[in-house]
Amino acid sequence: MVVNDVSKSFSSLIAVSNVSFSVHQGLTALLGPNGAGKSTVLRLLSGQIAPDSGSVWVAGGDPRKHASARSRIGLVPQQDGVFEHELALDVVRLAALLSQLDEPTQRARDALARVELDPDIDRPMGSFSKGMRQRVKIAQALVHEPSVLLLDEPLNGLDPRQRRQTIELFANLAAAGRTVLVSSHVLDEVERFGSDVIVIAQGRLAAQGDFHAIRELMDDRPTRVRVRCDQAALLAAELVANGAANGCSIESEHEVELRSSDASRLRRELVRVASTRGLRLNEVAPLDDDLESVFKYLVGP
């Protein structure tokens, strides 16, 4: 999968600008804040839209021009777009029929079982939870056994157990030789996908490579953290004294805001000091750890 100097605009909005990257077999995360251009990249890769300039090559061809390339792609869009009055089995079976598969009903049943949904659920999809609809979409994308999977925020709406199961499914598909590209705006979620990351910010490629190296770069930026514990002042005093925090603001007896230029060290020392002093940490909340601020730090104003 190769994206070469691709740009895409919608009227006056530049969604993607001069983006180039390649993705090989395995599991890769496409990381970026909401509105960064991730969905546009996935629509370009799946052949849903054409680039204004540059080229896209997926599964042996240009997905806009080569039907054989499109047939090897499985797409999970961010939008629901489900048939609310239909059964899940019928919806996935339709995807199998459109792919001209033999035994489409059995293939649909197998795909639903892979995402831990009962193929015999006898109620329309309009009554499904968000997580159930997400899993139906993943089953649709898997039913024709594609060599490339493009998944746009596929974990939205899933409970913690379903998230674990779904991440494990993606990892197994990647281990079996598939190319799996999963988009997310949740930094900690991406860490569970593996080490290969493409970072998109403001429609541009901000970084690509090993997640842990990129995370370390992100963690070098100034950080503010709110901590709630039973003796906030004692905790803050020790963290400032040993240099893990550059400063602090005592908000109340049980709450402190810490500032640090080394987020990794601050996290380690928080746990160590709390354990050593017998303090109970009730909350540790980064105040500027949203991805928007991370990417502003990475790519500048």
Does the reported pTM lie above 0.85?
Answer: no
Which residues have CB under 8 Å from 231's CB, separation 6+?
253, 277, 279
Q: In what order do the strands lie in the sheet with 13-22?
A: 13-22, 2-10, 53-57
Q: Give the pLDDT band (50/70/90) at residue 121.
A: very high
Adjacent-strand bridge partners of 149? 74, 180
The dihedral over CA atoms of 252, 222, 290, 212, expressed in degrees to the nearest 10, equals: -130
Q: What is the pLDDT of residues 66-110, one digit of tens each?
A: 999 999 999 999 887 768 899 999 999 999 999 999 999 999 999
- The SS3 of residue 43 is helix
pLDDT category at 6 given cuts 50, 70, 90 is: very high
Model confidence pLDDT, tens digit, residues 234-288 = 999 999 999 999 999 998 889 999 988 887 788 889 999 999 999 988 888 877 6
- Using a pLDDT cut of 70, give the percent of the chain over it: 90
HSE of 203, CA atoms in CB hemisphere, 13 A? 11
Q: What does the pLDDT read at residue 150?
A: 96
User: So what's the pLDDT on residue 221?
Assistant: 62
Q: How far apart are CA 114 and CA 138, in angstroms?
A: 9
161: left (phi over 0), alpha (psi -120 to 50) or beta: alpha
> DSSP character for 288?
S
Span 29-42, pLDDT tens digits: 998 878 889 999 99
Using one digit for the tens of pLDDT, what is the confidence trace for 196-234?
889 888 889 988 888 766 666 665 566 788 999 989 999
Residues in the chain: 301
